Structure 1
Amino acid sequence: MTVEAYLNGTGVGAYPNLLVPDLTGGHVSPVDVVILLESPHVDELHAKHPLAGRAGRDALAFLAGTYSDRSLGQEVAHRQKRGDFRVAIVNVSQAPLQRQAITTATPLDDKQWTQVEGLRRSRAREIWKLRAPRRQLAELLLQDLERRIALMAIGPATTVAAAGRFAQMFWRSLPSAPVCALLEVPHPARRQWARATGIDADRLGLLSERFHVASAPLAE
């Protein structure tokens, strides 16, 4: 398998278990909060939804103000099963961008993983500042992300939290990013939300407020 085919995968074929779908509601359900992340890891591959592991538990604890065994991904998935799509979680890549995330057979060899992980560690503000071939790989991910974002009911009242430098780079690169309230925040891994200071803490405070609004009971 080529790196291009891996990044452009659809969850079918030889490695369907490596695709983790977003938690979204589509056009018909206006969304209040979108959390944009990088890519799935071990726990997400097992649960088949984003933010399923320790980072997800820490994220929900921060937003809800109380710790539980449930992750943010579990909470959002539970809400969406009940028809509440006000909070969405999206990954830039629906397939892992880290070799260590895959505990079974991998479709890429070591050299190919070096390419993928090199892109993941990029520090550019926008993908257009990357050198080829990283930019070409990033363009594949951007096209797919743009397609998925276009299917969501994001508007001026929506808060989009781009979590981590990778997610922020891709949101800035969207050719037709929807008008929204954008918050660039740290990734929730390693309790970064709880330890944030300065402008990061201010932005996360706004995200928490928006999450609480989106968590109010739905009108009957």
Structure 2
Amino acid sequence: MTVDAYLQETGSGAYADFLVPDLTSGHGSPVDLVLLLESPHGDELHAKHPLAGRAGRDALAFLAGNVDAGISLGEEVARRHKRGDFRVAIVNVSQVPLQRQAITTATPLDDKQWTAVEGLRRSGAREVQTLRAARRQYAECLLSDLDRRVALLGISPTTTVAAAGKFAQMFWRSLSSAPTCALLEVPHPARRQWTRAAGDAAGRLGLLRERFGVASTALSK
């Protein structure tokens, strides 16, 4: 098995157990807010949806204010989707983990392969096209799949896409045909970065919170 096959897992291949599906309608329903992140970690593998762990709880607390500390943003959005409300979506660039420590069962990759994948994750490049050849090969696998999934979202010029973290921002910039929308580049919610943000980042996070509030009002009707 290859790294390419792992990164392009769709849920029916050899690595299906490691796939965490995006939280989207799956049928192009209009979406008000899309949160784009990097990849699932251990809590997400267990829950089988994005933003299920501490970062997800911190994200919901930031966006919604006084909430049950046991509820993550991923869980809240998943509940809304079950009610037929799809105007908030959560998407990962990679639907499989990009960190070896996220996986506690038998690893799908060997040491050399993990070194390559984690090197891509930490690259800090602005666009996929500027990566060195070895990393670019894996990045293009992810980019191709992300292109496909973004095209299925009901993104319009009134949609806000919040690309959280440098990795997600790199991939959004690199899409072959990024849809027209309002783009917010914000920190990743891990390690309480949202509550510690200052300056322009804090301003963009304030806009994200406002947009989440508007989408939440629409969803509750």
- Tell me the TM-score normalised to structure 2 length: 0.97
Measure how far apart 1:2 and its partner are. 1.1
Instruction: Report if aligned partners of 1:57, 1:67 keep a CA contact under 8 Å in 2.
Output: no
Structure 2: runs of 5 or more not aligned: none
- Measure the CA separation in 2 of the matches of 1:123 and 1:115: 14
| Distance of aligned partners of 1:81 and 1:185 in 2 relative to their CA distance in 1, 3 Å threshold | same
d(CA) in 2 for partners of 1:150 and 1:14?
25
* Contact 2:87/2:219 (<8 A) preserved: no
Query: What is residue 3 of structure 1 aligned with on the other side?
Result: 3
Q: Could you say which residue in structure 2 is the equivalent of 1:29?
A: 29
Equivalences, count = 220
Map Cα deviations across residues 92-123 of structure 1 (whole Å, 9 max, x no partner).
00000000000001110001000000000011
Name stretches of at least 5 consecutive residues in structure 1 with no aligned partner.
none
Matches of 2:140 and 2:28, distance apart in 1: 28
For 1:92, give the aligned amino acid: V
* Deviation beyond 6 Å, 4+ runs, structure 1: none
SS at match of 2:115: helix
Map of 1:77-116 to 2, 5 A cutoff?
77-116=78-117
Matches within 5 A, 1:66-77: 66-68=66-68, 69-77=70-78
Report deviation, 1:16: 1.8
Q: Give the AA of the match of 2:33.
A: V
Name the structure 2 match of 1:48: 48
Aligned to 2:39: 39
The amino acid across from 2:136 in the alignment is: R
Preserved CA contact (<8 Å) 2:147 2:175: yes
- Are 1:65 and 2:65 counterparts? yes
CA distance in 2, matches of 1:196, 1:99: 28
1:181 paired residue number: 182
The alignment's TM-score, normalised by the length of structure 1, stands at: 0.97
Matched with 1:147 is: 148
Change (3 A) 1:219 1:53: closer
> What are the superposed Cα offsets for residues 147-199 of structure 1, whole Å, 9 maximum, x if unpaired?
00000100110000000000000000001000000000000000000111000
Q: Which amino acid aligns with 2:15?
A: Y
